[in-house]
Amino acid sequence: MPMLENTTQEVLSLAEKHFNLAPGSLSPNDDFFKKLGIDSLQTLELLSRLENHFNIELPDYEVQGVSDFKTLAERIQSRL
Amino acid sequence: MKSFTGQALRWDWHDGIIELTLDRPPANEIGTVMLAELEKFVDAAKQLAPETAACVVTGAQKSGFCAGADLRELYHRSIELEPNLRAEGVRDFLEHIHAVLNWLDAAPFVTIAAVHGVCFGGGLELALVCDVIVADKMARFAFPELRLGLIPGFGGIPRLKRDLGNGFVRDLLLTGRSVNATRAQAVGLVAQLAAEGEALQIAHATAAQVTKFDAATRAAAKKFIKPVLYEELRREIEIFCDLFTRPAVMAGLKKFVENTGPMPYQP
């Protein structure tokens, strides 16, 4: 199982790539709703991309209320 | 009528294949306008059936196939009515949408849903009446109705039970969570996975394949393998209308209508 730091980095890289941001422009403690300006449909799309990338299922209720990349990575880590 | 463009949808018949396209912002929600045009479509499809092999159902909105019933319209229409009259208004809508979906479920041609993006609630119920679901790999499926104090009302539970294992049905229904297309395919909800943006093209390729078979044989095979569960569908309407009279439902609808958060479909 990868370390949490690696998972966090993968989440950041995936978000940067998907939203066409420069590598390194996102940080673990960033609020992704504010930083990426995403709406409910884009949130679902990001959820699908994360699930497909990590080959996991991440139920909506587990990420409800989560807004920073670090906590999101922790939720993913618990499913790896 | 071989082609039609309305306020909420359009259809076009070509070489034995109908393409029915939902197209109403923001996410092809099924309200009274969509319902009236779906009824118009069914009337036309009955006429076109003898010369039709397949029907592809798709959504033109970028957000997805269909986000379900138009809950904003339902809330605003219901709040204007006395509480004792609300269930009757809903029952009338349900009777009409069930008639549309029951006909599509048993249509004498092959129906193929080309799903992308959001396929929630009534949108999933529309996809479930189709014989084959082709899904973009970014599509998501959910029955979030319990957050409103309701069950799916457009035939969702009987058709899910008909098609899928009960363990997955309970998970989907009782948690209200959404599942991705890969998972939906693994449990048998989705028949074919498509790359991003390719679901409609793959649905049409599937439709072209079914045109090669004898119409009577195709219809007999479909009738044999896909019974319409009329009794359970009637029961669903009764349960839905019973639940709809509870104050929790209007509170849930109000909360949804006013929600601006990233997951308005979650409680």
Rounded CA separation B147/B175 (Å)? 9
CB contact under 8 A, A40 and B178: no
Among B17-31, B56-70, B78-92, B166-180, which is the least confidently predicted range? B78-92
% residues pLDDT > 70 (chain A): 99
pLDDT category at B153 given cuts 50, 70, 90 is very high
B262: confidence class by pLDDT, cuts 50, 70, 90: low
pLDDT at B256: 86
Number of domains within chain A: 1
Contact assessment for residue B181 and residue B135, using Cβ atoms and an 8 Å cutoff? yes
What's the gap in Å between the CA of A31 and the closest CA on chain B? 13
Comparing CB atoms, the residue among A33, A48, A57 nearest residue B262 is: A33
What average pLDDT does this structure show over B246-264?
A: 83
Mean pLDDT of chain B: 94
Q: Nearest to residue A61, comparing CAs of B257, B159, B146, B168? A: B146
Q: What b-and-e string marks burial along A35-60, b requiring 16 or more CB atoms within 10 Å of the CB?
A: bbebebbbbbbbbbbbbeebeeebbb
A49 contacts B140? CB cut-off 8 A: no
CA–CA dist B48, B240 (Å, integer) = 33
pLDDT, residue A9, reads 93
What would be the CATH architecture of the domain defined by B3-258?
A: Alpha-Beta Complex (3.90)
- The interface pTM score, or ipTM, of the predicted complex is 0.86
* pLDDT at B79 > cutoff 90: no
Give CA–CA dist A54/A77, Å, rounded: 9
- B25 upstream amide cis, omega within 30 of 0: no
Structural domain for A31, as ranges: 4-77
Integer Cα distance of B141 and B183 in angstroms? 10
What residues of B are annotated to the active site?
Answer: 145
Q: Which residue of B has its CA nearest to A32?
A: B262
CA geometry: angle at B230 spanning B227 and B234, to 5°? 155
pLDDT tens column, B4-37: 999 999 999 999 999 999 999 999 999 999 999 9
Q: Which pair of structure tokens corresponds to residue B193?
A: 């996975």
- Distant-in-sequence, close-in-space partners of B5: CB < 8 Å, separation ≥ 6: none
**pLDDT mean over B36-57:** 97
Q: CA B224: distance to chain centroid?
A: 22
- Ranked by mean pLDDT, the top range of B13-17, B83-87, B88-92, B165-169 is B13-17
* Cβ(B162)–Cβ(B131) below 8 Å: no
pLDDT of residue B265: 66
Q: Would you kindly state where each structural domain of chain B is located, as residue ranges?
A: 3-258
**Dihedral over Cα of B163, B164, B170, B171: its sign:** negative
Say yes or no to pLDDT of B175 above 90: yes
A75, pLDDT greater than 90: yes
Nearest to B140 among A39, A44, A61 (CB): A44
Sheet bearing B140-142, strands edge to edge: B64-66, B118-120, B140-142, B179-180
